């Protein structure tokens, strides 16, 4: 299974205050853009999770957000499948475009299909919050959204066609 993992821009960002968990409360307007990485998922026997990436700055160990996404599904749902996750990077690393969060989100979406878990977008978004603040935006699969809280409370914006 091959999935496009899109980048995002913050068109507006207000940092409101510091939270007790060391994050900040924010208000932001997200826009999903066409720039994307590619995530290829392949079932593996057992519960092995293997990360393969063509970019030297992307970890291929347990610190990788895609790894964390797969492990979260295995642990929280008792999944007994493994996966190879191949990431082809096009989104610049650490550029504020949400590449890691996007990869994590689309890994959750892809594994939901590959492993036939039948989870709703809302359930995937709740799980995604445990991985990173931007993850729910990508799971909601909307071109624009207002985000509040840590950036994890998403209100999709409807497109207006005239």
CA distances from 158 to 26, 68, 101, 111, 141 (A): 21, 31, 23, 27, 12
Q: Which two tokens stand for residue 77?
A: 């749902």
CA dist., res. 108 & res. 77, Å (int): 12
Of 37, 68, 134, 152, which one is the catalytic site residue?
134
Q: Is 8 a catalytic residue?
A: yes
Q: In 3-state terms, what secondary structure has residue 57?
A: coil
Of 8, 37, 152, 153, which one is the catalytic site residue?
8
Q: Is 121 a catalytic residue?
A: no
Residue 98 in contact with residue 140, Cβ under 8 Å? no
Q: What are the catalytic residues?
A: 8, 134
């Amino acid at each position: 299974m091959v999935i496009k993992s899109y980048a995002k821009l913050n068109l507006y960002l207000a940092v409101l205050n510091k939270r007790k968990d060391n994050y900040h409360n924010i208000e932001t307007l997200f826009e999903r853009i066409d720039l994307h990485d590619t995530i290829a998922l392949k079932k593996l026997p057992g519960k092995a999770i293997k990360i393969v990436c063509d970019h030297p700055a992307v970890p291929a160990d347990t610190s990788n957000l895609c790894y964390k996404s797969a492990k979260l599904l295995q642990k929280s749902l008792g999944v007994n499948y493994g996966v190879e996750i191949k990431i082809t990077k096009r989104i610049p690393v650490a550029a504020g475009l949400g590449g890691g969060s996007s990869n994590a989100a689309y890994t959750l979406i892809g594994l939901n299909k590959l492993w036939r878990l039948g989870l709703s977008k809302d359930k995937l978004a709740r799980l995604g919050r445990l991985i990173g603040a931007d993850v729910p935006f990508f799971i909601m699969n909307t071109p624009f959204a207002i985000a509040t809280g840590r950036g994890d409370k998403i209100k999709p914006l409807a497109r207006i066609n005239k």
